[in-house]
């Protein structure tokens, strides 16, 4: 950078800002709005500033890295945590901890969040940090390297990061490619012209070898620019093709959400009816006539329970989402406001196809940060669990409900759901009997629903009702379908039976558990939903119409009256023995009850542990960036010294002591020519450090190395004591800042091949591998 006009430097930085900005634009599919542009723009500006200042004052690797880390913490509040920073830009303890944590966790979190990633300020650290690092590297290369056009490479890396962390759909790929290619080629041509002008300005007597080197650099630089531009254009052009599908990391990352941790809510259906019949589970405003509130969708039957699978295909998959949920759906819009009461659990009530979820209250951040959604099944989950008083506003699209006339000729949709396992033996015959002569999909499905709802009887199995065991396992459904006195059960059994019967016909079906108030209920204002409003129904997928709901459960007043006298002759004898009442708790799947009991008894919430570990990891990450290089350099130099002082032969230990002096001098900035003798080296050092006993130590080293006998152990020990004393004198002769730079200098650690390459590339004297090669001023090519 030194020797270049400020205007030329400004052109370099402007070109790099445009190239890096192309990469930031690539995050547009992941983040809705302009937040990513602000974060990336601040990262670019801060990174270019750090690189320019470092080049101006000749900062080393450690100083530049430290400045970058400091800028990350200072500017990160304005880039990502404006909502919690003072005045939106001033860092606080909360923003610093958030930045430290996000530095480690945000990268994978961004891949597991369903775009758009709004509502997660910590995820903006990805474009901010990536832009900051790439800008620092690009400006450093452009202003300090002998081949400045290599600065295009970090800009291309940022573009690649935006692709890998983006989605399969690119943001204006052709425009990105053209902008990157044109600016890269134009800037490279301008730098070559600047280099040509610089050599011509030397009076036309440029060294022929310098001219040859410049031509080689032009060829290499031009090839690099063309290769990068071709790569960008190729990738972008591939994204434009209609059949193209970009590969992203998002496709290979499995979201950290395990449905096995949450038992199916259908297993607790009877418990809800029995224990929370009159309890308010939640209130909701904005309900419309005929609207159903969905809690969960079950589509995987294992012979014991109907589970929420989320295994891909027609089952969809759960992804972490922000306040905005992507997706385009036809229908009417509605806005619902929910307030939780006694519901609890992880399943979040919703309706239709939600497009946004805005939480309110003191737990809003915890709930929004743990929200997962499955667009295929329209099921939402909050892993932080609902609590009384939690509220949220749901904006959704209600799909139109097709009439039987519209479905008359419709065929089943090509949707795949998990095949049921261990179905009851009576299922096949019951299905054939129910379907009868029906031929169309609608007629067959409607025949099954009608058979169950008209020939069955309703009972929750509660006091005063006909005996009806809870559960929906294979044995319970076998009893339902084969009972001689007639089918008896409630939504749990009938919905499960119908879904399995429809699947028996090869049609996609699933069970939905949710809520809707009784017909004729007042829907104005806040509607209290109780346990008496819980229901289960069946959805069947029709082509062009989507999932359509069917109700196979008999009316609640359709009870088994004619069967009551028969069991009445044995009630007292059976009350004394286990059958009816004691069996009910035993049949309820233990997962639901045990989960609640475990939480109530332990009272231990380990959620804080994850936060502490995340913060600690972030702090350690920043500490590693700040102090890791220094510690590594100190370790390598200490190990080298021990190896020299502990060499097997005494003469090698003497020689190693002298090499230690030369290395320490090289770290202080002294240039020692290669191929010189110890006395010549000593004279060179003596000219810079006249007060040190360098010459005496060199003579003693020569006497020990070239003497007729090996030096004694005492002589070796004394020589190393003198070595340490001489090194201390060298350090004492410079300022504290120079001593610190010497301790962190990499000059003496460079391998021999690198030192030789550096020496050969310069037009000056060859230097010792432990010293710093003399560098002549190189044209800006």
pLDDT (mean) for 413-419: 92
The more confidently predicted of residues 562 and 318 is: 318
pLDDT (mean) for 440-467: 94
What Rg value do the Cα atoms of the chain yield, rounded?
A: 38
Query: Where would I find the H helices in 419-570?
Result: 427-435, 441-455, 474-482, 491-504, 565-568
User: What is the per-residue pLDDT across 108-156, written as a single tens digit (0 to 9) for each?
Assistant: 778 777 677 777 788 899 999 999 999 999 999 999 887 888 899 999 9
User: Rounded to a whole number, what is the largest CA-CA distance in the chain?
Assistant: 122
Instruction: State whether 307 and 421 are in the same domain.
Output: yes
How are strands ordered across the β-sheet holding 347-348?
319-320, 371-374, 379-382, 347-348
Is 60 exceeded by the pLDDT of residue 646? yes
Closest among 158, 174, 137, 168 to 40, alpha carbons compared: 158
Instruction: State whether 588 and 635 are in the same domain.
Output: no
The more confidently predicted of residues 496 and 691 is: 496
Q: In the beta sheet, which residues pair with residue 294?
A: 350, 514
Instruction: State whether 376 and 506 are in the same domain.
Output: yes
In 573-714, where do the E strands start and end?
none
The total number of structural domains that make up the chain: 3
User: What is the per-residue pLDDT across 663-673, written as a single tens digit (0 to 9) for each?
Assistant: 888 888 887 66
User: What is the per-residue pLDDT across 342-389, written as a single tens digit (0 to 9) for each?
Assistant: 998 999 999 999 999 999 988 998 898 889 999 999 999 998 899 999
Give the pLDDT of residue 259: 76
Q: Number of helices (H) and strands (E) in the chain: give both, helices first.
A: 26, 17
Q: Is residue 632 part of a domain?
A: yes
> Which residue matches tokens 């879904």?
499
What residues have CB less than 8 Å from 735, skipping those under 6 apart? none
How are strands ordered across the β-sheet holding 332-340?
353-360, 391-398, 332-340, 280-285, 526-530
CB 551 within 8 A of CB 449: yes
Instruction: State whether 594 and 662 are in the same domain.
Output: no
pLDDT (mean) for 49-66: 91
CB 138 within 8 A of CB 20: yes
CB 550 within 8 A of CB 539: yes
DSSP letters, 580-594, are HHHHHHHHS-HHHHH
Give the Cβ contact number of residue 75 at 10 Å: 22
Instruction: State whether 646 and 586 are in the same domain.
Output: no
Instruction: State whether 581 and 622 are in the same domain.
Output: no
300-301 and 332-340 strand pairing: unpaired
Tokens standing for 434?
A: 């129910």
Closest among 172, 178, 155, 170 to 224, alpha carbons compared: 155
User: What is the per-residue pLDDT across 206-250, written as a single tens digit (0 to 9) for each?
Assistant: 455 555 555 555 545 555 555 555 555 555 444 444 444 555 666
The more confidently predicted of residues 166 and 294 is: 294
Q: Is residue 152 part of a domain?
A: yes
Q: Is residue 182 part of a domain?
A: no
Give the pLDDT of residue 273: 92
Is 50 exceeded by the pLDDT of residue 46? yes
Give the pLDDT of residue 612: 55
Q: Is residue 372 part of a domain?
A: yes
Helix (H, G, I), strand (E, B) or coil at 498: helix
* Nearest-angstrom CA–CA distance, 685 and 661: 10
* Nearest-angstrom CA–CA distance, 550 and 457: 17
pLDDT (mean) for 739-754: 73
Instruction: State whether 590 and 689 are in the same domain.
Output: no
Give the pLDDT of residue 238: 47
Is 50 exceeded by the pLDDT of residue 769? no
- Best mean pLDDT range from 272-281, 633-642, 732-741: 272-281
Name the CA dihedral angle for 412, 413, 418, 423, rounded to a multiple of 10 degrees: -10
| Cα 89-90-96 angle, rounded to 5 deg | 105
Is 80 exceeded by the pLDDT of residue 573? no
Q: Is residue 736 part of a domain?
A: yes
Q: What percent of the chain has pLDDT over 70?
A: 77
Q: Is residue 211 part of a domain?
A: no
Give the pLDDT of residue 120: 78
Helix (H, G, I), strand (E, B) or coil at 14: helix
Give the pLDDT of residue 604: 45
* Average per-residue pLDDT for the chain: 81
Q: If pLDDT is split at 50, 70 and 90, which confidence band does 628 have? A: confident
Segment among 168-177, 239-248, 437-446, 685-694 with least mean pLDDT:
239-248
What residues have CB less than 8 Å from 492, skipping those under 6 apart? 266, 269, 270, 470, 471, 472, 536
Range of the domain at 108: 6-168+244-251
* Nearest-angstrom CA–CA distance, 310 and 377: 8
Is 70 exceeded by the pLDDT of residue 709? yes
The more confidently predicted of residues 316 and 40 is: 40
Instruction: State whether 469 and 587 are in the same domain.
Output: yes
pTM > 0.75: no
Segment among 25-34, 450-459, 587-596, 698-707 with least mean pLDDT:
587-596
* Nearest-angstrom CA–CA distance, 294 and 227: 53
φ, ψ at 659 (rounded to 5°): -60, -35
Instruction: State whether 593 and 626 are in the same domain.
Output: no
User: What is the per-residue pLDDT across 6-43, written as a single tens digit (0 to 9) for each?
Assistant: 888 899 999 999 999 999 998 888 887 788 899 999 99
Q: If pLDDT is split at 50, 70 and 90, which confidence band does 733 have? A: confident
The more confidently predicted of residues 446 and 211 is: 446
The more confidently predicted of residues 487 and 247 is: 487
CB 21 within 8 A of CB 45: no
Q: If pLDDT is split at 50, 70 and 90, which confidence band does 529 have? A: very high
Instruction: State whether 580 and 620 are in the same domain.
Output: no
Q: Is residue 457 part of a domain?
A: yes
The more confidently predicted of residues 546 and 683 is: 546
Give the pLDDT of residue 505: 94
Q: Is residue 656 part of a domain?
A: yes
Give the Cβ contact number of residue 600 at 10 Å: 8
Instruction: State whether 273 and 159 are in the same domain.
Output: no
The more confidently predicted of residues 612 and 675 is: 675
Instruction: State whether 676 and 711 are in the same domain.
Output: yes
* Nearest-angstrom CA–CA distance, 152 and 18: 11
């Amino acid at each position: 950078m030194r020797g270049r006009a400020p205007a030329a430097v400004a052109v370099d930085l402007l070109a790099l800002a445009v190239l890096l900005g192309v990469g930031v634009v690539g995050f547009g599919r992941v983040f809705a709005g302009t937040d990513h542009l602000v974060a990336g723009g601040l990262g670019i500006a801060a990174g270019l500033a750090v690189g320019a200042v470092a080049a101006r004052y000749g900062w080393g690797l450690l100083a530049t890295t430290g400045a970058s880390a400091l800028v990350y913490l200072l500017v990160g509040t304005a880039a990502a945590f404006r909502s919690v920073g003072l005045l939106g830009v001033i860092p606080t303890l909360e923003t610093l901890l958030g930045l430290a944590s996000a530095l480690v966790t945000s990268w994978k979190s961004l891949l597991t969040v369903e775009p758009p990633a709004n509502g997660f300020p910590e995820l903006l650290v990805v474009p901010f940090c990536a832009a900051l690092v790439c800008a620092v590297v690009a400006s450093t290369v452009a202003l300090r390297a002998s081949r400045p056009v290599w600065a295009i490479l970090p800009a291309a890396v940022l573009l690649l990061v935006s692709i890998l962390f983006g989605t399969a759909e690119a943001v204006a790929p052709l425009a990105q490619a053209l902008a990157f290619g044109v600016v890269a080629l134009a800037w490279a041509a301008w730098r070559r012209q600047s280099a040509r002008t610089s050599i011509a300005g030397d009076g036309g007597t440029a060294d022929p070898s310098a001219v040859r080197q410049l031509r080689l650099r032009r060829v290499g630089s031009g090839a690099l620019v063309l290769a990068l531009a071709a790569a960008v254009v190729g990738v972008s052009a591939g994204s434009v093709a209609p059949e193209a599908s970009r590969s992203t990391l998002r496709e290979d990352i499995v979201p950290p959400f395990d449905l096995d941790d949450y038992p199916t809510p259908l297993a607790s259906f009877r418990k809800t009816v029995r224990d929370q019949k009159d309890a308010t589970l939640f209130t909701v405003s904005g309900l419309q006539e005929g609207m159903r509130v969905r809690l969960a969708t079950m589509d995987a039957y294992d012979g014991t329970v109907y589970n929420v699978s989320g295994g891909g295909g027609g089952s969809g998959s759960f992804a972490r989402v922000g306040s905005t949920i992507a997706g385009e759906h036809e229908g009417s819009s509605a806005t619902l406001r929910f307030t939780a009461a006694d519901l609890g659990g992880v399943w979040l009530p919703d309706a239709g196809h939600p497009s946004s979820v805005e939480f309110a209250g003191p737990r809003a951040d915890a709930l929004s940060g743990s929200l997962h959604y499955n667009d295929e099944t329209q099921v939402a989950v909050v892993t932080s669990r609902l609590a009384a008083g939690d509220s949220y506003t749901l904006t959704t699209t209600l799909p139109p409900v097709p009439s039987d006339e519209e479905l008359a000729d419709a065929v089943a949709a090509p949707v795949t759901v998990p095949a049921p396992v261990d179905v009851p033996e009576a299922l096949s015959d019951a299905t054939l009997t129910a379907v009868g002569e029906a031929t169309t999909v609608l007629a067959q499905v409607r025949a099954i629903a009608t058979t169950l709802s008209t020939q069955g009887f309703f009972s929750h199995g509660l006091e005063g009702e006909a005996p009806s065991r809870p559960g929906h396992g294979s044995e319970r459904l076998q009893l339902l379908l084969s009972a001689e006195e007639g089918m008896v059960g409630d939504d749990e059994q009938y919905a499960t039976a119908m879904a399995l019967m429809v699947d028996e016909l090869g049609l996609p079906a699933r069970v939905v558990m949710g809520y809707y108030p009784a017909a004729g209920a007042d829907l104005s204002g806040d509607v209290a939903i109780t346990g008496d409003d819980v229901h289960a129904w069946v959805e069947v997928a029709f082509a062009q119409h989507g999932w359509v709901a069917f109700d196979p459960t008999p009316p609640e007043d359709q009870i088994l009256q004619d069967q009551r006298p028969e069991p009445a002759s044995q009630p007292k004898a059976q009350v004394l023995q286990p059958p009816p009442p004691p069996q009910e708790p035993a049949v309820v799947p233990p997962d639901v009850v045990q989960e609640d009991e475990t939480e109530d008894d332990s009272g231990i919430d380990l959620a804080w542990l994850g936060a502490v570990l995340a913060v600690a990891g972030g702090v350690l990450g920043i500490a590693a960036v700040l102090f890791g290089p220094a510690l590594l350099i100190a370790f390598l130099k200490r190990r080298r010294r021990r190896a020299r002082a502990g060499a097997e032969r005494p003469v090698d230990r003497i020689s190693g002591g002298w090499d230690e002096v030369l290395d320490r001098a090289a770290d202080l900035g002294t240039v020692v020519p290669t191929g010189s003798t110890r006395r010549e080296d000593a004279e060179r050092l003596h000219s810079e450090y006249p007060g040190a006993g360098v010459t005496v130590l060199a003579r003693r080293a020569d006497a020990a190395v070239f003497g007729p006998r090996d030096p004694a152990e005492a002589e070796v020990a004394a020589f190393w004591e003198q070595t340490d004393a001489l090194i201390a004198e060298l350090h004492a002769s410079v300022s504290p800042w120079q001593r610190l730079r010497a301790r962190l200098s990499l000059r003496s650690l460079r391998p021999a091949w690198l030192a030789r390459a550096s020496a050969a590339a310069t037009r000056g004297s060859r230097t010792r591998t432990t010293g710093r090669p003399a560098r002549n001023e190189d044209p800006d090519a």
